[in-house]
Chains A and B, each alone.
Chain A
């Protein structure tokens, strides 16, 4: 399998590691504003464990650890292994995202 890193170009998949579904967002948990950990437990449960088992295109995290050390978000077809797009995570390099966590 070949993965086209937006920075390095197309590379052999051995340079990458896979983390899985890129859709779940880590819930915000603001202790200062009085939120209790119990209050966000369900949201964290979803974030950590609940995943759709998609047959088709899925947004996934891939880490180019054997290359430029960028975390990437790839749209990959889980049936054909075809990649539709590979983009950088919001905080790659010195990028300054407009909004946290996006």
Chain B
């Protein structure tokens, strides 16, 4: 590392265009005032242009947005959440609480992106957030003057009353003032997806310990997945270097990665951040597939959520350096010591020329050498421990370091960054030191989040003044810095041991090899959480929680860490308190006189890092929001212009509009009249169909249905009703007997799945002694209902002449196979939902489209009309047939007027409980017909029924309207309803009250069978 380029003016990057690559590269270097002349894991042959707040700058491939900003000397990058204080870059990793920017623009705008993890690409556009009109002149910074109202609990205290102010005043006010980035308001044009991955050993984090673990597990022969959120493997080795197995750490990383890549049983996933740990060894990770390029290529995804199933996992997620709380600790230019080293060593970017270092531990001292080697000055080292660590004494003497025993009590500076640091030594003397950067280290917190997602509680270790994982989820171990092992040698050994053990537990028997070796540097620390002095001292940078907020919360009684979190919002931001939680609870511990372990941590929950909802949705958005099912005549219906309705997953033809029809009611009315006066057909393939076979099929159905089926003759169909075991109706449908040991059962469209599961439960759990086999035949058959007085004429056209289609030859409720002209065999059932002569005809699904076409041909002279689900619904309401709105999980067979079907001669599911007092009470709400007195009035379902003259309310409510339609036969709106003692009240005038639609009118309760109550038409 050599040479610090000093302060040149920023180049006009536009001038770079049209020059040779090397010229561009030189010009780019020249424009980066804080870029070192050499070194770093950047590609100086690949200069990249980017803009921040409209200002065009340049960086190099390998940069993050943050490192490029550092290289360009940019310190101010954000305004804070509550007080709009100027903020800079604090870390160099995913824990960044402060340098959040808005990436891209338009539909791809993405707020709250951490500049520290965003890889630089050519043409990158980023904006600062939470400021107006500009980052330097932010009017909202007057919030600082109003600071007293933003103290802990301010939401609770300020916006308590009056309640009516919430909607109109408080909420808009809070929403405008308190928010970081703004989301895009356009649909995201990019594609996201989800995928599954499986392995024996999942290694989480690709630093020294993770590489050692993956290598051991991979050499042993287990299936390994190594995930690393960074674009490169190596972790802190990329920033702190060192020596492993006698070679430079970077060389060791290169060789290790090469070996891992050569192993077929090892999969390396970079740019992949693990965010969730779930039961049974399931993990979730977000792969940022194309966030590092301007746009995903054609058909490429932007991000991908991985669900990884692993037998074992090794968490090698490292540790996070923690800040110290002191006044001014949020000034742009105050940075974690490890981040300073990362920018200098990995990115060859200098955060400052005169760096002051404030550390309470030996590790922080590494920064001295890193800055000096890069050509920077160490303005001073402030270490409260009062003594230079033995390892650094020679260096301190050699470079004549200014070392203070004390703490930083203030930081001078503003939007342009740090100008000076005020040191108060251990004797209380204060002096100011010139510096343009303050590197801070309060020690390291092992990353315990992932190991605590199953409510595991971390364990405090005094020697490192930090929590380490306690009870980890089953199958998970932790190694390296995440386990509190901070020396490089220990990380390598720990990782190797954990990886080898995990592989062995998965049955891998190969040779895991030997652990790599490195030195065991000393990590001594004397805890220091806070320097008490006058001024705002921040604990949580992202949510602007100060030390005094924590102590205020304590004084007001919010001592539990969970209360502290809610009251102050400490740790609730997008960074989930990665840099603030432990410090906050340490201050709380001191305030309450408890120890830190006594104070405890808040519960850790996924996601560990923010995940876009779009990534979680993946493929399932827009038309792919959920799967769909198509009926066999779907494409035929679509070609005829049918309007489709979603019925569960099904797309069903709702009606078939004809030219000139002004609205759907007109279309539906035409379809109903065509059926009632002629003939029509409707695809009813969506009904659930179950083949029930076996010697005991009849007995089985007797127990499932309230009525008998063992007595049903072969060749006949019967309407059946089944209850739940609590006596409430579950489902209904027609079931036919195809053969002695074969019934064909139908269910409603909605309940096909649940009924199948129920039948399997009955077969496998309740009555395993019965010989019954069940198979779903729902998709095997294209089934059509053909209805209307001309149905028989139509069928005579279609059916082979040898079939007897007379009323005697094919009586009501008959069911048998028939041959059709042209050689296809169909199942024909004479059942009616419409009240007309009707048949349901089934052919194998491959003939679904042909069947619809042939019905049109066979009925051409009869004016045959295809009808949709609306006309079907109208006709069933006219006939008083119950459907979903009446079979709604609250009604009994008797409520539906079907009580007489309940057999007294047998046990069946629900029989006993259906006899309970409340289910047989005389004042139950039962199905009735309802018609408004005003024949022009449109009835609407959901409206309440109250006695005429009564004031509507809970005491007078007697039921509600369940199903409505415009009835072409009655020439008015009619409906079905559930009304108390309804069957005794035919002819009574009641009040219909509809507060949702502000309607109130009178209607008559009547027989639910509006049309052809004698049922003559369907039997004719």
B912 and A41 form a contact (CB under 8 A): yes
| Complex: A100 Cα to B912 Cα, angstroms | 20
Cβ-closest chain B residue relative to A4:
B280
A63 and B768 form a contact (CB under 8 A): no
A2 proximal to B (CB < 8 A): yes
B760 and A69 form a contact (CB under 8 A): yes
Looking at B72-80, B510-518, B903-911, the stretch in contact with chain A turns out to be B903-911
A52 proximal to B (CB < 8 A): no
B269 proximal to A (CB < 8 A): no
B765 and A29 form a contact (CB under 8 A): no
Q: Which residues of B contact A26 (CB under 8 A)?
A: 725, 766
A55 proximal to B (CB < 8 A): no
A91 and B912 form a contact (CB under 8 A): no
Given contacts A31-B905, A41-B916, A91-B765, contact A2 B760 (CB under 8 A): no
Q: Find B907's partner among A2, A13, A29, A92 (CB 8 Å cutoff).
A: A29
Q: Which chain A residues numbered 63 to 102 have a C-beta less than 8 Å away from chain B?
A: 63, 65, 69-71, 80-83, 89-92, 95-97, 100-101
User: Closest CB-CB distance, B266 to chain A, in whole Å?
Assistant: 22
Given contacts A1-B278, A63-B760, contact A90 B309 (CB under 8 A): no
Q: Find B767's partner among A1, A27, A100 (CB 8 Å cutoff).
A: A100
A19 and B761 form a contact (CB under 8 A): yes
Q: Which residues of A contact B278 (CB under 8 A)?
A: 1
User: Closest CB-CB distance, B230 to chain A, in whole Å?
Assistant: 29
- Contact code string B709-735 (vs A, CB < 8 Å = 1, else 0): 000000000000000011000000000
B281 and A2 form a contact (CB under 8 A): yes
Given contacts A71-B760, A81-B279, contact A91 B767 (CB under 8 A): yes
Q: Find A61's partner among B309, B765, B767, B906 (CB 8 Å cutoff).
A: B765
Q: Which residues of A contact B913 (CB under 8 A)?
A: 41, 44-45, 48
**How many contacts between A and B, using CB within 8 angstroms?**
90
| Complex: A69 Cα to B757 Cα, angstroms | 8
B757 and A40 form a contact (CB under 8 A): no
B907 and A30 form a contact (CB under 8 A): yes
User: Closest CB-CB distance, B753 to chain A, in whole Å?
Assistant: 8
A7 proximal to B (CB < 8 A): no
Q: Which residues of A contact B595 (CB under 8 A)?
A: none
A91 and B768 form a contact (CB under 8 A): yes
B769 proximal to A (CB < 8 A): yes
A91 and B763 form a contact (CB under 8 A): yes
Cβ-closest chain B residue relative to A71:
B764
A81 and B280 form a contact (CB under 8 A): yes
A2 and B764 form a contact (CB under 8 A): no
User: Closest CB-CB distance, A71 to chain B, in whole Å?
Assistant: 4
B177 proximal to A (CB < 8 A): no
| Complex: A98 Cα to B474 Cα, angstroms | 38
Q: Find B915's partner among A13, A38, A91 (CB 8 Å cutoff).
A: A38
Q: Which residues of A contact B280 (CB under 8 A)?
A: 1-3, 13, 81, 83
| Complex: A65 Cα to B770 Cα, angstroms | 21
- Contact code string B902-946 (vs A, CB < 8 Å = 1, else 0): 001111000111011000000000000000000000000000000
Q: Which chain B residues numbered 278 to 292 have a C-beta less than 8 Å away from chain A?
A: 278-282
Q: Which residues of B contact A6 (CB under 8 A)?
A: none
Cβ-closest chain A residue relative to B763:
A91
| Complex: A82 Cα to B764 Cα, angstroms | 25
- Contact code string B692-718 (vs A, CB < 8 Å = 1, else 0): 000000000000000000000000000
Q: Which residues of B contact A12 (CB under 8 A)?
A: 282, 309
Q: Which chain B residues numbered 738 to 794 have a C-beta less than 8 Å away from chain A?
A: 753, 756-757, 760-761, 763-770
| Complex: A63 Cα to B757 Cα, angstroms | 8
> How many interface residues does B have (CB within 8 Å)?
32
User: Closest CB-CB distance, B699 to chain A, in whole Å?
Assistant: 12
| Complex: A61 Cα to B768 Cα, angstroms | 15
| Complex: A2 Cα to B475 Cα, angstroms | 13
A82 and B906 form a contact (CB under 8 A): no
Q: Find A91's partner among B279, B309, B764, B916 (CB 8 Å cutoff).
A: B764
Q: Which chain A residues numbered 38 to 57 have a C-beta less than 8 Å away from chain B?
A: 38, 40-41, 44-45, 47-49
B764 and A31 form a contact (CB under 8 A): no
Q: Which residues of B contact A13 (CB under 8 A)?
A: 280
Given contacts A91-B768, A100-B769, contact A31 B907 (CB under 8 A): yes
Cβ-closest chain A residue relative to B903:
A31
Q: Find A90's partner among B279, B281, B765, B915 (CB 8 Å cutoff).
A: B765
Q: Which residues of B contact A81 (CB under 8 A)?
A: 279-280
User: Closest CB-CB distance, A26 to chain B, in whole Å?
Assistant: 6
User: Closest CB-CB distance, B691 to chain A, in whole Å?
Assistant: 14
Q: Which residues of B contact A70 (CB under 8 A)?
A: 764
A17 proximal to B (CB < 8 A): yes
Q: Which residues of B contact A37 (CB under 8 A)?
A: 911-912, 915
Select the residue from B282, B761, B768, B907 with max chain A CB neighbours within 10 A: B768
Q: Which residues of A contact B912 (CB under 8 A)?
A: 27, 29, 37, 40-41, 44
B765 and A89 form a contact (CB under 8 A): yes
| Complex: A48 Cα to B309 Cα, angstroms | 37
B281 and A97 form a contact (CB under 8 A): no
Q: Which residues of B contact A95 (CB under 8 A)?
A: 768
Q: Which residues of A contact B904 (CB under 8 A)?
A: 31
Given contacts A29-B907, A37-B911, A48-B913, contact A89 B764 (CB under 8 A): yes
User: Closest CB-CB distance, B260 to chain A, in whole Å?
Assistant: 27
A90 and B760 form a contact (CB under 8 A): no
Q: Which residues of A contact B761 (CB under 8 A)?
A: 19, 61, 63, 71
B768 and A89 form a contact (CB under 8 A): yes
Q: Which residues of A contact B725 (CB under 8 A)?
A: 26, 44, 47-48
Q: Which residues of B contact A65 (CB under 8 A)?
A: 753, 756-757, 760
Q: Which residues of B contact A40 (CB under 8 A)?
A: 912
B907 and A82 form a contact (CB under 8 A): no
Q: Find B765's partner among A48, A71, A83 (CB 8 Å cutoff).
A: A71
Cβ-closest chain A residue relative to B454:
A80
Q: Which residues of B contact A44 (CB under 8 A)?
A: 725, 912-913
Q: Which chain B residues numbered 473 to 500 have a C-beta less than 8 Å away from chain A?
A: 474
- Contact code string B260-280 (vs A, CB < 8 Å = 1, else 0): 000000000000000000111
User: Closest CB-CB distance, B231 to chain A, in whole Å?
Assistant: 30
| Complex: A1 Cα to B307 Cα, angstroms | 11
Q: Which residues of A contact B753 (CB under 8 A)?
A: 65
Q: Which residues of A contact B916 (CB under 8 A)?
A: 41
A82 and B905 form a contact (CB under 8 A): no
Given contacts A31-B906, A40-B912, A63-B761, contact A48 B726 (CB under 8 A): yes
| Complex: A101 Cα to B761 Cα, angstroms | 12
| Complex: A100 Cα to B905 Cα, angstroms | 21
| Complex: A96 Cα to B770 Cα, angstroms | 9
- Contact code string A8-43 (vs B, CB < 8 Å = 1, else 0): 000011000101000000110111000001101100
User: Closest CB-CB distance, B696 to chain A, in whole Å?
Assistant: 11
| Complex: A71 Cα to B762 Cα, angstroms | 10
Q: Which residues of B contact A2 (CB under 8 A)?
A: 279-282, 309
User: Closest CB-CB distance, B406 to chain A, in whole Å?
Assistant: 49
Q: Which residues of B contact A90 (CB under 8 A)?
A: 764-765, 768
User: Closest CB-CB distance, B235 to chain A, in whole Å?
Assistant: 30
A to B CB contacts below 8 Å, 27 in the list: A1-B279, A2-B282, A19-B761, A26-B766, A29-B911, A29-B912, A37-B912, A38-B915, A41-B912, A44-B725, A63-B760, A63-B761, A70-B764, A71-B761, A71-B764, A80-B454, A81-B279, A82-B474, A83-B280, A91-B763, A91-B765, A95-B768, A96-B768, A100-B767, A100-B769, A101-B766, A101-B767
Chain B residues packing against A (C-beta within 8 Å):
278-282, 309, 454, 474, 725-726, 753, 756-757, 760-761, 763-770, 904-907, 911-913, 915-916
Known A-B contacts: A1-B282, A97-B768, A101-B767. Give 20 more (CB < 8 A): A1-B278, A1-B280, A2-B281, A2-B282, A29-B907, A31-B907, A37-B912, A41-B913, A44-B912, A44-B913, A47-B725, A63-B757, A63-B760, A65-B757, A71-B761, A81-B280, A91-B764, A92-B764, A96-B769, A97-B769
Can you list the 10 inter-chain pairs with the closest CB atoms, starting with the nearest? A91-B768, A2-B280, A91-B764, A1-B279, A29-B907, A81-B279, A44-B912, A100-B769, A71-B764, A89-B764
